[in-house]
Amino acid sequence: MSTLAPSALLYFCNAILFVSLFTRLPAIQLSLGVDKAILGFTLLSAPLGTFLALPIAGRVTDRLTPRLTAVATLWITALLTPLLTIVPISGFLLCFFLFGFFRTIFDVAANMIATGIEQRTGRKILSRSHGFWSIGLLAGSLISGFLAGRGVTPFFHQAMAAAFVILSCLIAFRMMPRDSAPVIQPDRKRPVYVLPDRTILLICVMVFGLCIVEGAVYDWGIFFIREVLGADPTAAGMLYATFTIGMGLTRLSGDMLRDKFGAATLLRGSAISVGAGVILLVSAPGLVAGGFALFLIGCGVALAFPLAVSTAIERGKGQASESLAALALTLMLGTIGVPPLLGFIAEHAGLVASFLVLLPFILLSFLMAPVSEGRRPWLGFSRR
């Protein structure tokens, strides 16, 4: 557990910041005075920050070390979140851009810390580290529902979350060994953007359907729970928590499941779980069915990114930081239009329609699962 603890704490804190913000989006939208289509457009500023951070994410991480980079960028992100709840729309665009920028550098550093520990100790901790992201989502969503139900303002909520994260980062920094990840001297001949090779492109297509569903739940799930399922703020937090419970339980057992069943089988099962969950969610007759649907979706999306990361590191070419940067760049470009598109659909055709359009992409992930084992896309049950 001591090996896992520093990495787990960083992922947990990142999730606390993330879910504390996104579960309060309805209140933030109200304070901004915009509709869902405009809100979806403003959410594009974070992917833009990601795009501009990617050229330097690997360089910064290699130069400062993953240990220092992860803590410093998470501190900055924590300080930004309270501002997002009180600024006007122009300020929201700027702060959300910076939110995406620094979280991108953090993600590269945190994944390098986890994979570096795996390489040094021979113990698999990447999936379990991501599992603590899910535990953070669970804790944060329950706390958010509790605070929202009692009228606590989003600003005070985010300020408390930021204070907790800043203190936790100090603890993680002291716990983390200096060699928690390999330190690589920056290569001055690197291109500005680390472009994906064929392997990275296939990995991104493989997880695309699962990643956009996960993003849809983060961006619009709380709106669906409140407006379609009719939950009050406290119940909405509890229902959102079922998504995080499914994700957390699956990620905590993900390393064992990967050893037992293999990556391709896990991805096929993930796609089936997500597809079934989306269908049940849009037809749910009540809160209990909706909660179970979100649980299934959480189970299904849980291992998509950890498996993409491990596949990119195992099968990608070049340094680990370059493979991760190329993976992040391609996924970001592939999904950048999804939040505003779903917001536009939600505003003009309803939230149910915005989730139904995701089903064909889930099927694509199902068919592409063998890519995780270095094989061609799987097109039928008899093909291997």
Q: What is the pLDDT of residues 11-25, one digit of tens each?
A: 899 999 988 988 888
| Maximum distance among all Cα pairs of the chain, rounded to whole angstroms | 58
**Average pLDDT of the residues in 307-317:** 77
Please answer whether residues 365 and 271 qualify as being in contact, where contact means their C-beta atoms are separated by less than 8 angstroms: yes
Q: Tell me how many degrees the CA angle 174-119-12 measures, rounded to the nearest 5.
A: 45
Cα–Cα dist 52/272, whole Å = 35
CA 119 vs CA 116, 130, 263, 313: distances in Å: 5, 17, 19, 11
What domains can be seen in the chain, in order of their start residue?
A: 5-180+193-373 (1.20.1250.20)
CB 195 within 8 A of CB 55: no
Q: CA 216 to CA 210: how far, in whole Å?
A: 10
The Cβ of residue 43 has, within 10 Å, a number of other Cβ atoms equal to: 24
The pLDDT tens digits for 188-246 are: 555 656 677 788 888 889 999 999 998 889 888 888 998 899 888 888 888 888 998 89
Cβ burial of 191 (10 Å; 0-12, 13-18, 19+) is exposed
Two structure tokens written together for 380 = 């039928």
Distance of CA 248 to CAs 17, 209, 218, 276, 302, Å? 17, 20, 15, 19, 7
pLDDT digits (tens, 9 = 90+) for 104-149: 899 888 888 877 777 777 677 776 777 787 788 888 888 988 898 8
Reported pTM: 0.74
